[in-house]
């Protein structure tokens, strides 16, 4: 399809309605991945025109990009400076490292100095500070901490070194948890006795319910995560439109994807027709990925979980079900539940993840807190909002 045709389609857009299904944006979903720079500018102009239409009825619009990858992409593409300033893009709790609590870090740190225990983790977790330091500091003092790219890498290490215990730190959302579930099922089938997981998983929809209901935030719509939604689909977000009258749009990660998602949200706000749309149809289906969902239900069960900076959220975490409990490192090594260590800090990472403030509003941002010397996890993680602002928006 030629770019000129897409530009004409943007300018002459018509929306249709399906009973019970809301707006039909198929024209936009089919074409955004194939447009060029010229038409991207036209799409940006259309978004700004729509902001002006919406703001003729209200003072401004706050949209929350839930996913840390979206936060990084928005910064990289320079959207905050290119979009009408009456549209504010707020960062949400979709950075797994950022929402992992200090007590969870401290519990993981108890493992690193146990004899003949190797701790396996994704790279972003290495520098997250706990009350007793970080995994990187523990490694520097001789602890066996290894960065892996998948939990299955850890399983293979366990098979190759049967004299050692290998513990994978289970950090992440619905995207990561199915691969861990599959690895645990394989470990059980292969009778691997020296591999376990310390589960610290979080679930996105319960956190969005807290944000939608919170008086601390003023969110008018959600740019919903593409990767998580590939697993869970769009149905778990329907409560946003039905209960809170807030629109959502599951969006991809290219520049045109994000602009199209923003346009869809603005149109829903303008028409007063909140719904949950799927812009990222090349990867996301309404029902999600049934195979991955079965893996989650087979291995894990939902429990209440604490989120850094947000608090305890009902049924927002995952632990191992009966039949797989022997792969729970907390049980295997009798790890006590850590008590929070009170320490004074001006870090406002929690408020950033709630969309209550922007990273530059934190008094530590780019002063005492930098990627070289991070104070809070939002600056540590490559998906953290503070890291994105520091890199692209100072």
Q: Which domains does the chain have, with CATH numbers?
A: 61-347 (3.40.50.11740), 348-392 (no CATH)
Q: Which of 168, 233, 204 is nearest to 313 (CA)?
A: 204
What pLDDT sits at residue 340?
A: 64
As a whole number of angstroms, the distance between CA 177 and CA 174 comes to 5
Rounded to two decimals, what is the model's pTM?
A: 0.88
Specify whether the backbone of 252 is left (phi greater than 0), alpha (psi in -120 to 50) or beta. beta
- 147-163 confidence digits (pLDDT tens): 999 999 999 999 999 99
Given this model, what pLDDT does residue 113 score? 85
Helix-helix angle 68-77:255-271, to 10 degrees? 100
Query: What is the DSSP code (8-state) at residue 291?
Result: H
Report pLDDT for 187.
98
Q: Is 312 helix (H, G, I), strand (E, B) or coil?
A: strand
Q: With a cut of 70, which residues of the chain have pLDDT below it?
A: 1-38, 339-344
Burial of 342-378, coded b for 16+ CB within 10 Å and e otherwise, reads eeeeebbbbbbbbbbbbbeebebbeeebeeeebbbbb
Give dist(CA 386, CA 389) in Å, integer. Answer: 5
Contact 111, 119 (CB under 8 A): yes
Output the CA angle 375-378-380, nearest 5 degrees: 65
pLDDT at 38: 67
Gyration radius of the chain over CA positions: 22
**Measured distance CA(39)–CA(28) in Å, rounded:** 13
Residue 290 CA to residue 240 CA, distance in Å, equals 22
195-199 vs 165-170, strand pairing mode: parallel
């Amino acid at each position: 399809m030629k770019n000129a045709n897409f530009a004409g389609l943007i300018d002459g857009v018509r929306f249709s309605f399906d009973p019970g299904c809301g707006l039909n944006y198929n024209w936009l979903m089919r074409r955004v991945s194939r447009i060029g720079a010229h038409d991207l500018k036209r799409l940006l102009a259309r978004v700004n025109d729509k902001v002006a239409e919406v703001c003729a009825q209200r003072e401004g619009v706050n949209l929350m990009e839930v996913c840390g990858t979206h936060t990084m992409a928005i910064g990289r593409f320079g959207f905050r400076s290119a979009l009408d300033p009456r549209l504010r893009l707020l960062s949400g709790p979709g950075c797994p490292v950022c929402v992992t609590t200090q007590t969870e870090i401290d519990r993981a740190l108890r493992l690193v100095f146990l004899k003949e225990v190797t701790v396996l983790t994704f790279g972003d977790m290495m520098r997250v500070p706990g009350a007793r330091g970080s995994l990187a500091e523990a490694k520097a003092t001789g602890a066996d901490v290894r960065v892996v790219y998948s939990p299955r890498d850890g399983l293979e290490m366990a098979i190759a070194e049967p004299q050692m215990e290998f513990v994978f730190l289970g950090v992440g959302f619905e995207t990561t948890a199915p691969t861990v579930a599959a690895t645990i099922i394989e470990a059980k089938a292969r009778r691997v006795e020296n591999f376990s997981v310390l589960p610290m998983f979080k679930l996105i929809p319960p956190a969005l319910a807290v944000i939608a209901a919170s008086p601390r935030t003023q969110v008018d719509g959600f740019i919903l995560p593409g990767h998580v939604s590939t697993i869970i689909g769009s149905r778990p977000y329907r409560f946003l439109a039905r209960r809170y009258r807030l629109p959502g749009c599951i969006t991809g990660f290219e520049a045109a994807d994000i602009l199209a998602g923003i346009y869809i949200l603005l149109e829903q706000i303008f028409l007063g027709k909140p719904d949950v749309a799927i812009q990222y149809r090349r990867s996301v289906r309404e029902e999600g990925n049934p195979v991955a969902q079965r893996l989650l239900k087979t291995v894990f069960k939902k429990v209440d979980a604490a989120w850094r900076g947000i608090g305890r959220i009902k049924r927002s975490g995952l632990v191992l079900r009966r039949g797989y409990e022997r792969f729970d490192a907390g049980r295997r090594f009798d790890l006590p539940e850590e008590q929070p260590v009170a320490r004074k800090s001006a870090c406002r990472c929690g408020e950033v993840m709630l969309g209550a403030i922007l990273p530059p509003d934190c008094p530590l941002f780019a002063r005492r807190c930098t990627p070289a010397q991070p104070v809070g996890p939002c600056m540590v993680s490559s998906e953290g909002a503070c890291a994105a602002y520091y890199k692209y928006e100072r």
